[in-house]
Amino acid sequence: MRSKLVIANWKMNADKASVSRLLAAYCEVIKTSAQVVVCPPALYMHQAEESLVDSRVVLGAQDVSQYGNGAYTGEISLAMLKEFGCRYVIVGHSERRSLYGEQDETAAEKFAATLQAGLIPVLCVGETKQERETGETEAVVTRQINAVIKLAGIDGFENAVVAYEPVWAIGTGDTATPEQAQQVHKLVRDKLAAIDADVAQRVPVLYGGSVNAGNAKELFAMPDIDGGLVGGASLDADAFAAICAAAN
Ligand code: PEP
């Protein structure tokens, strides 16, 4: 039996006042048996860590460098994230792939580096609208996962999370139906199971893409959907609390 997990991805939305306000509201209104993770912009990690003392909500990062340290202007290392209590790291988010040209291999390097540092990578996979329309969903998701297996091995998924995030559903209000999502979640699990059935059974596979208070329960009820990665709706504490409650 896999436990449920809900991750808030605030993206580049925050200021000092809203971080305090939103996290205080999270602590007050979130009532769930699911594990809850919040990924603020990295600059606010320290403030978020202080706001979450004595809370069950844990910290994650939206991205990380695959390198340890050195001349990588603008980058943030795993060691830096760890100093501020970060436990999860999103890798290969579609916005990193589409806006910053991040390739499968880079996402795989970030995944492997995150594991090596003792943190939990959250690998995002998913197809664009065009890829879905041309019947390439399975090929795209398989390619994205295989790049990680090639570098980190199937054992890498022992302590990792996969998030299926159809690109056409992210920030668009256009959610995958529970059946569409379940189909790809099962595909992800089957791909892993073909190599190691135990690992495949244990790895949490989250759905992301316009999850909201109204659709979360139906999505999370599907057998291979273990929770959600939530962007826009996580900026509203009540909406996010309702999503977390749907993961009970
Ligand atoms: C995301 O950014 O990972 C995401 C799923 O965003 P949204 O919930 O806004 O679609």
Question: Which residues touch 224 (CB under 8 Å, ≥6 apart)?
Answer: 182, 185, 186, 188, 189, 205
Q: Which residue has the tokens 């244990």?
A: 202
Q: What is the pLDDT of residues 156-195, one digit of tens each?
A: 999 999 999 999 999 999 999 999 999 999 999 999 999 9
Integer-rounded Cα Rg, in Å, for the chain is: 17
Distance CA 45, CA 181 (A): 31
Distance CA 34, CA 51 (A): 20
Contact present, 168 and 148 (Cβ < 8 Å):
no
Task: Find out whether the beta carbon of 39 lies less than 6 Å from any atom of ligand 1.
Answer: no
Nearest to 109 by CA among 54, 66, 157: 66
Note the pLDDT of residue 117.
Answer: 98
Q: What angle do CA 215, 41, 53 make, to 5 degrees?
A: 85
Note the pLDDT of residue 228.
Answer: 98
Q: Which residue has the tokens 């509201």?
A: 25
Q: In this model, does residue 1 exceed pLDDT 90?
A: no
pTM attached to this predicted model:
0.98
Contact present, 58 and 52 (Cβ < 8 Å):
yes
Distance CA 108, CA 211 (A): 26
Backbone angles phi, psi at 79, to 5 degrees: -60, -40
Task: Find out whether the beta carbon of 19 lies less than 6 Å from any atom of ligand 1.
Answer: no
* Mean pLDDT in residue range 38-59: 97
Q: What is the pLDDT of residues 68-100, one digit of tens each?
A: 999 999 999 999 999 999 999 999 999 999 999
HSE-CB at 114 with a 13 A cutoff on CA atoms is 33
Task: Find out whether the beta carbon of 92 lies less than 6 Å from any atom of ligand 1.
Answer: no
Task: Find out whether the beta carbon of 230 lies less than 6 Å from any atom of ligand 1.
Answer: yes
Note the pLDDT of residue 144.
Answer: 98
Q: What is the pLDDT of residues 188-246, one digit of tens each?
A: 999 999 999 999 999 999 999 999 999 999 999 999 999 999 999 999 999 999 999 99
Work out which ligand 1 atom sits closest to the CA atom of 93: 3
For residue 147, how far is its CA from the centre of ligand 1 (angstroms)?
23
Note the pLDDT of residue 199.
Answer: 98
Local structure of 104: helix, strand or coil: helix
Question: Which residues touch 197 (CB under 8 Å, ≥6 apart)?
Answer: none
Q: In this model, does residue 111 exceed pLDDT 80?
A: yes
Average pLDDT of the chain, as a whole number: 97
* Mean pLDDT in residue range 121-138: 98
Work out which ligand 1 atom sits closest to the CA atom of 95: 2
Active site residues: 93, 165
Local structure of 143: helix, strand or coil: helix
DSSP state letters, 45-99 = HHHHHHHTTT-S-EEEES---SSSSSS-TT---HHHHHHTTEEEEEES-HHHHHH
